[in-house]
Structure 1
Amino acid sequence: MAATPATQRVLALDGLPGGWLPEEFVVIPQRGDGLDERLAAAFSDTHRLRPGPIVLIGMDTPQVTPELLSEAGEALAEHDAVYGPAADGGFWLLGLRRPDPELLLGVPMSHPETGKFQLDRLDRAELTVHQLPELIDVDTAADADAVAAQAPASCFAAELRRLGR
């Protein structure tokens, strides 16, 4: 993410950042009870800091590249939303030209059809959506192995090898 051109980088974090966080990142607290509320709040809080299109990604897709993130940001010039599906039925990225909490609130999260429900919500709002490639988010050891195989030169794959996987 740090290698991707961006106007501002914001991390919605539950807790305090460590020394691993580059200085150019702005940290905001996560707020809300469920994941749908936390995502909606992250969009709203980031939009208050810097009005404009927002691309939100999770931290469990280490194979994300600057090229994919650049594509997402560029897509918002011509589309209302950008969506990156995850192999488990969720999504790894959601970008919105005009963030609106109602696009996320009430969408069932951590469900095999979360992505379908989210896309349905965007469709009902009559938004144009640019789709990105499907990626695997890392929820299990098998997911970690699959991601490392997809991106063998990544820091993630190197760390798995260091751990003996």
Structure 2
Amino acid sequence: MTPDRTTPAAHRTATRNTSRLTLLVIAKSPLPGRVKTRLTPPYSPEEAARLAEAALVDTLRVVLAVPARRRVLVLDGVPGAWLPDGVEVVPQCAGGLDERLAGAFGGCDGPALLVGMDTPQISPALLAPVLAADAWRSADACFGPAADGGFWALGLAAPDPGLVRGVPMSTPTTGAVQRARLTAAGLRVRDLPVLRDVDTAADAAAVAAEAPHTGFAAELSRLARAARR
């Protein structure tokens, strides 16, 4: 579904009810050998999974700390003891990442903001511009670019799976292609700050230094202490 070009954009955005916001987190269950494989080496698969779990828990804590009608974990795998109360779990659909992201948006009614599990440095303050009561009056979409060329956040006032489906994922131009898809559909895009994904050991160290009070930073510090023993 594309925006109704016959309806003035100001009217479309003014009538959106931001209290209906759905917060989506797309993630894999943090199991050794299935997540953060680029952290191995220097970390073992078990250590990489512990870092992935810490990043996911940090992300879910932020999701629970901000206003939303629904908080949904779109999960590849099964929940574990790390899952907090107050978060719905739905399975990821089959297909490539673009299909899975499209499926996540397809299950939403009203504005939706999707983030991943690779940016434990996100915070309520960082998300505030797209969570305010009037957030969608001047924008139809929000976009958070990642330093590696991808994106860490995508928000749509009127979720349309077709805006994501077919975008090539995990390439240096993924973010540029996705943002261009939004503007080509006539959407006004609010840009969020560039964040660094945790993919490599260097990424992990940089993100932990940026957000030292996160569980992710604490877990990385524990692993470093254990390695020195």
Smaller-chain TM-score bracket = over 0.9
Higher RCO (CA < 8 A, seq sep 6+): 2
Distance 2:105 2:137 in 1: 18
**Identity of aligned pairs, percent?**
60
Asked if structure 1 preserves the Cα contact closer than 8 Å seen for 2:198 and 2:204, the reply is yes
User: What is the one-letter code of the residue matched to 1:66?
Assistant: P
* 1:55 lines up with 2:113 in the alignment: yes
Once the two structures are superposed, the pairs formed by residues 24-39 of structure 1 within 5 Å of their partners are: 24-39=86-101
Q: Deviations over 1:90-128 (max 9, x none)?
A: 000000000111100110000001000001100110100
Asked if structure 2 preserves the Cα contact closer than 8 Å seen for 1:9 and 1:26, the reply is yes
Q: Aligned residue for 1:151?
A: 211
Runs of 4+ in 1 over 6 A off after TM superposition: none
Range with bigger deviation, 147-156 or 81-90:
147-156
Q: Aligned residue for 2:171?
A: 111
Shift of 1:69: 2.2
Q: Aligned residue for 1:21?
A: 83
User: Which of 194, 206, 213 pairs up with 1:134?
Assistant: 194
Q: Aligned residue for 1:84?
A: 144
Distance 1:76 1:16 in 2: 34
Shift of 1:16: 1.3
User: Which of 68, 79, 88 pairs up with 1:6?
Assistant: 68
Shift of 1:132: 0.5
Q: Deviations over 1:23-43 (max 9, x none)?
A: 211111100310000000001
Shift of 1:76: 2.8
Asked if structure 2 preserves the Cα contact closer than 8 Å seen for 1:82 and 1:94, the reply is yes
Asked if structure 1 preserves the Cα contact closer than 8 Å seen for 2:147 and 2:194, the reply is yes
| TM-score, normalization by structure 2 | 0.68
Q: Deviations over 1:50-70 (max 9, x none)?
A: x11000000010000012223
Determine helix, strand or coil for the equivalent of 2:224. coil
Asked if structure 2 preserves the Cα contact closer than 8 Å seen for 1:83 and 1:132, the reply is yes
Q: For the aligned residues, what is the CA RMSD? A: 1.2
Q: Which runs of 5+ in 1 are unaligned?
A: none
How many pairs are equivalent?
Answer: 161
| TM-score, normalization by structure 1 | 0.93
Structure with bigger gyration radius: 2
Determine helix, strand or coil for the equivalent of 1:164. helix
Shift of 1:77: 3.9
Distance 2:81 2:136 in 1: 32
User: What is the one-letter code of the residue matched to 1:35?
Assistant: L
